[in-house]
Protein backbone atom coordinates (compact mmCIF):
# COMPACT_ATOMS: atom_id res chain seq x y z
CA UNK A 1 0.00 0.00 0.00
CA UNK A 2 2.80 2.40 0.88
CA UNK A 3 4.63 1.64 -2.37
CA UNK A 4 1.51 2.62 -4.30
CA UNK A 5 1.17 5.87 -2.30
CA UNK A 6 -2.15 4.79 -0.78
CA UNK A 7 -2.50 6.54 2.56
CA UNK A 8 -4.98 6.59 5.43
CA UNK A 9 -5.98 2.99 4.86
CA UNK A 10 -5.79 0.42 7.62
CA UNK A 11 -5.00 -3.15 6.67
CA UNK A 12 -6.19 -6.20 8.58
CA UNK A 13 -4.46 -9.50 7.90
CA UNK A 14 -6.00 -12.80 8.94
CA UNK A 15 -3.49 -15.54 9.67
CA UNK A 16 -4.55 -19.14 10.17
CA UNK A 17 -3.21 -20.08 13.59
CA UNK A 18 -0.82 -22.96 14.25
CA UNK A 19 -3.44 -25.32 15.68
CA UNK A 20 -5.89 -25.03 12.78
CA UNK A 21 -3.11 -24.89 10.18
CA UNK A 22 -1.24 -27.88 11.61
CA UNK A 23 -4.32 -30.05 11.92
CA UNK A 24 -5.49 -29.17 8.41
CA UNK A 25 -2.08 -30.03 6.95
CA UNK A 26 -2.00 -33.32 8.88
CA UNK A 27 -5.48 -34.34 7.74
CA UNK A 28 -4.39 -33.81 4.14
CA UNK A 29 -1.20 -35.85 4.62
CA UNK A 30 1.10 -32.82 4.50
CA UNK A 31 3.06 -33.54 7.69
CA UNK A 32 6.56 -34.31 6.41
CA UNK A 33 8.61 -36.00 9.12
CA UNK A 34 6.05 -35.63 11.90
CA UNK A 35 4.43 -38.82 13.25
CA UNK A 36 0.78 -37.83 12.84
CA UNK A 37 -1.67 -35.08 13.80
CA UNK A 38 -1.14 -35.85 17.50
CA UNK A 39 2.53 -34.83 17.27
CA UNK A 40 2.62 -31.51 19.13
CA UNK A 41 5.84 -30.54 17.33
CA UNK A 42 3.78 -29.76 14.20
CA UNK A 43 1.91 -27.06 16.08
CA UNK A 44 4.92 -25.80 17.99
CA UNK A 45 7.01 -25.51 14.82
CA UNK A 46 4.21 -23.68 13.02
CA UNK A 47 3.93 -21.29 15.97
CA UNK A 48 7.70 -20.64 15.65
CA UNK A 49 7.30 -20.00 11.91
CA UNK A 50 4.24 -17.74 12.23
CA UNK A 51 5.69 -15.51 14.97
CA UNK A 52 8.14 -13.64 12.68
CA UNK A 53 5.48 -13.28 9.98
CA UNK A 54 3.09 -11.70 12.50
CA UNK A 55 5.92 -9.49 13.77
CA UNK A 56 6.59 -8.19 10.26
CA UNK A 57 2.90 -7.49 9.63
CA UNK A 58 2.64 -5.51 12.88
CA UNK A 59 5.78 -3.55 12.01
CA UNK A 60 4.15 -2.63 8.69
CA UNK A 61 1.17 -1.29 10.65
CA UNK A 62 -1.29 -4.05 9.83
CA UNK A 63 -3.93 -5.26 12.23
CA UNK A 64 -3.43 -9.01 12.69
CA UNK A 65 -6.15 -11.53 13.47
CA UNK A 66 -5.11 -15.08 14.27
CA UNK A 67 -7.88 -17.41 13.15
CA UNK A 68 -8.26 -20.56 15.23
CA UNK A 69 -11.59 -22.23 14.39
CA UNK A 70 -9.89 -25.53 15.20
CA UNK A 71 -10.10 -24.70 18.90
CA UNK A 72 -13.90 -24.92 18.93
CA UNK A 73 -13.71 -28.01 16.69
CA UNK A 74 -11.63 -29.70 19.41
CA UNK A 75 -8.51 -30.23 17.27
CA UNK A 76 -6.45 -30.05 20.46
CA UNK A 77 -7.10 -29.85 24.17
CA UNK A 78 -7.49 -26.16 25.04
CA UNK A 79 -4.79 -26.32 27.72
CA UNK A 80 -2.19 -27.43 25.14
CA UNK A 81 -3.40 -24.89 22.60
CA UNK A 82 -2.98 -22.05 25.12
CA UNK A 83 0.66 -23.02 25.69
CA UNK A 84 1.42 -23.11 21.97
CA UNK A 85 -0.41 -19.87 21.16
CA UNK A 86 1.15 -18.02 24.10
CA UNK A 87 4.60 -19.27 23.05
CA UNK A 88 4.00 -17.80 19.59
CA UNK A 89 2.68 -14.52 21.00
CA UNK A 90 5.61 -14.23 23.42
CA UNK A 91 8.02 -14.32 20.47
CA UNK A 92 6.53 -11.08 19.15
CA UNK A 93 7.93 -7.71 20.25
CA UNK A 94 5.10 -5.30 20.92
CA UNK A 95 4.75 -1.63 21.43
CA UNK A 96 1.41 -0.36 22.74
CA UNK A 97 0.00 0.27 19.27
CA UNK A 98 0.86 -3.17 17.91
CA UNK A 99 -0.48 -4.91 21.03
CA UNK A 100 -3.82 -3.23 20.38
CA UNK A 101 -3.75 -4.44 16.78
CA UNK A 102 -3.57 -8.15 17.67
CA UNK A 103 -6.63 -10.35 18.01
CA UNK A 104 -7.55 -14.01 18.20
CA UNK A 105 -10.68 -15.22 16.42
CA UNK A 106 -12.48 -18.42 17.39
CA UNK A 107 -15.77 -19.36 15.81
CA UNK A 108 -18.14 -22.27 16.13
CA UNK A 109 -19.86 -23.97 19.04
CA UNK A 110 -17.84 -22.76 22.03
CA UNK A 111 -19.69 -25.08 24.41
CA UNK A 112 -18.70 -28.34 22.72
CA UNK A 113 -15.10 -28.35 24.01
CA UNK A 114 -14.81 -28.57 27.79
CA UNK A 115 -13.19 -25.49 29.42
CA UNK A 116 -12.65 -23.78 26.08
CA UNK A 117 -13.79 -20.30 27.08
CA UNK A 118 -11.86 -20.43 30.38
CA UNK A 119 -8.72 -21.31 28.44
CA UNK A 120 -9.29 -18.71 25.72
CA UNK A 121 -9.13 -16.09 28.46
CA UNK A 122 -5.57 -17.25 29.25
CA UNK A 123 -4.29 -16.41 25.77
CA UNK A 124 -2.17 -13.25 25.82
CA UNK A 125 -4.12 -11.07 23.39
CA UNK A 126 -6.10 -7.94 24.18
CA UNK A 127 -8.93 -8.81 21.81
CA UNK A 128 -10.81 -12.09 21.58
CA UNK A 129 -13.18 -12.28 18.64
CA UNK A 130 -15.75 -14.96 19.40
CA UNK A 131 -18.28 -15.93 16.78
CA UNK A 132 -21.08 -18.18 17.94
CA UNK A 133 -22.71 -20.37 15.36
CA UNK A 134 -25.85 -22.42 15.30
CA UNK A 135 -27.67 -22.70 18.58
CA UNK A 136 -27.73 -20.11 21.32
CA UNK A 137 -24.48 -20.33 23.27
CA UNK A 138 -24.67 -20.61 27.04
CA UNK A 139 -21.59 -18.62 28.05
CA UNK A 140 -21.27 -16.25 30.98
CA UNK A 141 -19.96 -13.23 29.06
CA UNK A 142 -19.21 -11.38 32.31
CA UNK A 143 -16.12 -13.60 32.63
CA UNK A 144 -14.57 -11.91 29.63
CA UNK A 145 -14.11 -8.53 31.28
CA UNK A 146 -15.00 -4.92 30.68
CA UNK A 147 -14.08 -4.61 27.00
CA UNK A 148 -16.83 -6.49 25.24
CA UNK A 149 -18.36 -5.93 21.86
CA UNK A 150 -21.35 -7.89 20.73
CA UNK A 151 -22.89 -8.31 17.33
CA UNK A 152 -25.88 -10.36 16.35
CA UNK A 153 -26.92 -11.49 12.93
CA UNK A 154 -29.88 -13.73 12.35
CA UNK A 155 -30.68 -14.59 8.77
CA UNK A 156 -34.17 -15.65 7.78
CA UNK A 157 -34.88 -16.32 4.14
CA UNK A 158 -38.65 -16.55 4.32
CA UNK A 159 -39.73 -14.06 6.97
CA UNK A 160 -39.02 -10.65 8.37
CA UNK A 161 -37.77 -10.36 11.93
CA UNK A 162 -38.19 -7.33 14.15
CA UNK A 163 -35.55 -6.00 16.52
CA UNK A 164 -37.75 -6.74 19.55
CA UNK A 165 -37.88 -10.41 18.56
CA UNK A 166 -34.08 -10.52 18.23
CA UNK A 167 -33.51 -8.96 21.64
CA UNK A 168 -36.02 -11.34 23.23
CA UNK A 169 -34.29 -14.37 21.74
CA UNK A 170 -30.99 -13.66 23.54
What residue ranges do the domains of the chain occupy? 12-169
Kindly give the pairing relationship between strand 63-67 and strand 127-132: unpaired
pLDDT band at 164 (very low <50, low <70, confident <90, very high): very low
> Residue 144 has what pLDDT?
57
Q: Which residues contact 132 (CB under 8 A, 6 or more apart)?
A: 107, 109, 110, 139
pTM equals 0.78
pLDDT band at 42 (very low <50, low <70, confident <90, very high): very high
Residue 139 in this model has a pLDDT that exceeds 70: no
Q: What is the mean pLDDT of the chain?
A: 80
Mean pLDDT of 3-25: 86
Residue 87 in this model has a pLDDT that exceeds 90: yes
Greatest C-alpha distance within the chain: 56
> Residue 130 has what pLDDT?
81
Distance CA 35, CA 68 (A): 22
pLDDT band at 84 (very low <50, low <70, confident <90, very high): very high
Which of 125-134, 148-157, 161-170 is predicted least confidently? 161-170
> Residue 48 has what pLDDT?
97
> Residue 167 has what pLDDT?
47
> Residue 137 has what pLDDT?
54
SS3 state of residue 127: strand
pLDDT band at 166 (very low <50, low <70, confident <90, very high): very low
Amino acid sequence: MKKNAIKNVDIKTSITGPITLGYTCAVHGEIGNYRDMRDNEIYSDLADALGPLIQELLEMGSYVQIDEPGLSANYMKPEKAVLILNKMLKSISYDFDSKEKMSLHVCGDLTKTKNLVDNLLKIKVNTLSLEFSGKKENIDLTLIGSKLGLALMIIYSDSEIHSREVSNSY
